[in-house]
A and B are shown apart, each in its own frame.
Chain A
Amino acid sequence: DAKTTQPNSMESNEEEPVHLPCNHSTISGTDYIHWYRQLPSQGPEYVIHGLTSNVNNRMASLAIAEDRKSSTLILHRATLRDAAVYYCILRDLEMNYGGSQGNLIFGKGTKLSVKP
């Protein structure tokens, strides 16, 4: 899986939008962009994923650059419960699911702090 680069940490104020960037300049045409987040002492939680078009769900929006070399996870109104480590991960859809090719490779992610 191609590598991603994220800022180590970001701060936000409660009820304000948050834009979490991710660079993936070596992304291939079949790589999906996945976002997960991990709250303290919990397993990661799926947030959103996309391929080329921007995506929206109840949790967040994913904006993907036209050249796909970067993407941004958008939390429209941050709450205190959104404080977590956010991981941007590339996943090649064409890889087999057997063996380690199906797994997600976690980097260090971005630690988001939300101030009241």
Chain B
Amino acid sequence: GAVVSQHPSWVICKSGTSVKIECRSLDFQATTMFWYRQFPKQSLMLMATSNEGSKATYEQGVEKDKFLINHASLTLSTLTVTSAHPEDSSFYICSALLDIQETQYFGPGTRLLVL
């Protein structure tokens, strides 16, 4: 199957700092990528949809100025958590849409801990 990578796999940062997470589709091009967040013992919640070459679309309640998304190429989308706070600590997961299969392939996730 198609492979999606994320970097870093985990990160610990101090409150107030910014953290960038990369999502790459390794063997296919993805015009659409998605960013999800998952808190412990909960299901995945969509944060935003990232379209190559255009602005991301954010779900209700997700602050676009806090969670900056850039999708500058067909294989890379980045999520930057700006001025991170402890409540932003979560498991962040990206996915890339493989159009010809109508299927999303997910990255392994990035665990963020804000102290």
Contact = CB atoms under 8 A, between A and B. Distances in A.
A44 B96 CA distance: 12
A19 B13 CA distance: 43
Contacts of B46: 100, 103-105
Contact of B49 (A32, A98, A107): A98
Interface of B: 1, 4, 6, 31-32, 34, 36, 43-46, 49, 51, 57, 59, 91, 93-95, 97, 99, 102-109, 111
Nearest to A49: B103
Interface residues of A, number: 26
Interface of A: 32, 34, 36, 38, 41-46, 49, 87, 91, 93, 97-100, 102-109
5 contacts: A41-B91, A43-B6, A98-B57, A100-B49, A109-B43
